[in-house]
Amino acid sequence: MSIVSSRPTITRSELENVLDSLIKEELTGGNSVKTFESSLSELLQIKLSLAVNSLTSAYLLIFKALDIQPGDEIILPSYFSSAPLGAMTLLGAKAVPVDIEESHFSPSAESVKKLINEKTKAVIIGHTFGIDAQISRFSDCGIPVIEDVSHALGLEFEEKIPGSEGSFAVAGFTPTDIITTGNGAAVFTKNTRHFSLMRSLRGGDDEAVSLDCTMTEFQAAMGLSQLTRLQDFLRIRREIAQVYYDRLRLTPHKSLFPFNPNSSYQSFPVIFDASEDKVLKYWKTNSIQLYKPFPKTIHEHLGLKSMDYPQSDRYSKKLYSLPIYPTLTRKEIEKISRSLAKFI
């Protein structure tokens, strides 16, 4: 049987919580959603949070709060989730990709500043793969910083909680994220005016005209159960990563950063010193699925030239993630690490 590239960690108790929320006949805007929001606020230490049905919806609420208009520009890394693009398209805003640095999968502050003009309304920065993006570098850019913490839930960077430094924060809960609600996301802010506007637009709390993007009760019920095991998820991912690092030293291939006991290891990114055909054939023969975290860059989505985004382009083509998730068995971990050591 093939080892899949990613698998959500869902237990019987979580499914029972979902069933219980359905029995209560409150599918949206009930107690589970409110409790999940409170738990997320406590985790990130940001008082105001909203649970929504997707990461694109989370970005859309933020853009509406910032009064993004057609033609306005938003800067984001080219090696990044495409979720913000859908929200920008709906509003007629322009995505402005910027290439990333090798060291932490985010752009330099200097490269962002060069792109800022009178149309620029925000910059999106993510802690990709749970690596500290050092948000403070962007504090003097003069525009709102939207901090994506999807890969950094439960972490601390130099005693700072991810999400605490940006004007807004977002977190996604897809099956490949640290915790999952099947889909869904959350948006965070410290600005009460922005929060009130986003809550009204989200819907679920009153009869106002809204975008109707509230998270369902059964999604929130699953999220609450997942949050109770967040630190266990992180511990297991780190233990698996340590095994991979030990085997990786025996090969010419490399991970892009040294082992970090404070990372989330949402993915285990590896650059293989081999052609794509050789990589795919070898791992398929060993019945192990790899995946490319961002196989299509933002600049490719926009039809821009790859030569202007060399680092992002390289990673989208050459970077793979080994399977790394809490439900991997010891036998599966050993098979993956043994295959890694033999891949020359």
pLDDT by residue, tens only, the chain of 344 residues: 799 999 888 877 777 767 776 676 555 556 889 999 999 999 999 999 999 999 999 999 999 999 999 999 999 999 999 999 999 999 999 999 999 998 779 999 999 999 999 999 999 999 999 999 999 999 999 999 999 999 999 999 988 999 999 999 999 999 999 999 989 999 999 999 999 999 999 986 655 678 889 999 889 989 999 999 999 999 999 999 999 999 988 888 878 888 999 999 999 999 987 889 999 999 999 999 999 999 999 999 999 999 999 999 999 999 999 999 999 999 999 999 999 989 87
> Are 215 and 52 a contacting pair, CB within 8 Å?
yes
User: Helix, strand or coil for residue 146?
Assistant: strand
**Where among 202, 228, 254 does a domain terminate?**
228
Question: Which CATH number belongs to the domain containing residue 333 in this structure?
Answer: 3.90.1150.10
- What is the b/e burial string over 41-76, where b = at least 16 CB atoms within 10 angstroms of the residue's CB? bebbebebbbbbbbbbbbbbbbbbbbebeeebbbbb
Domain housing 253? 231-342
Tell me, yes or no, whether 240 and 116 share the same domain.
no
> Is 268 among the domain residues?
yes
Cα-based angle 338, 151, 12 (whole degrees, multiple of 5): 75
> Is 96 among the domain residues?
yes
Backbone phi, psi, residue 190, to 5°: -105, -5
pTM here is 0.94
Tell me, yes or no, whether 196 and 236 share the same domain.
no
User: Helix, strand or coil for residue 187?
Assistant: strand
> Is 274 among the domain residues?
yes
Question: Which CATH number belongs to the domain containing residue 121 in this structure?
Answer: 3.40.640.10
Instruction: Count how many domains the chain has.
Output: 2
Tell me, yes or no, whether 142 and 270 share the same domain.
no
Tell me, yes or no, whether 224 and 307 share the same domain.
no
Alpha-carbon distance of 261 to 259, in angstroms, equals 7
Tell me, yes or no, whether 187 and 330 share the same domain.
no
Alpha-carbon distance of 191 to 222, in angstroms, equals 28
Alpha-carbon distance of 222 to 118, in angstroms, equals 43
Tell me, yes or no, whether 123 and 241 share the same domain.
no
pLDDT at res. 100: 97
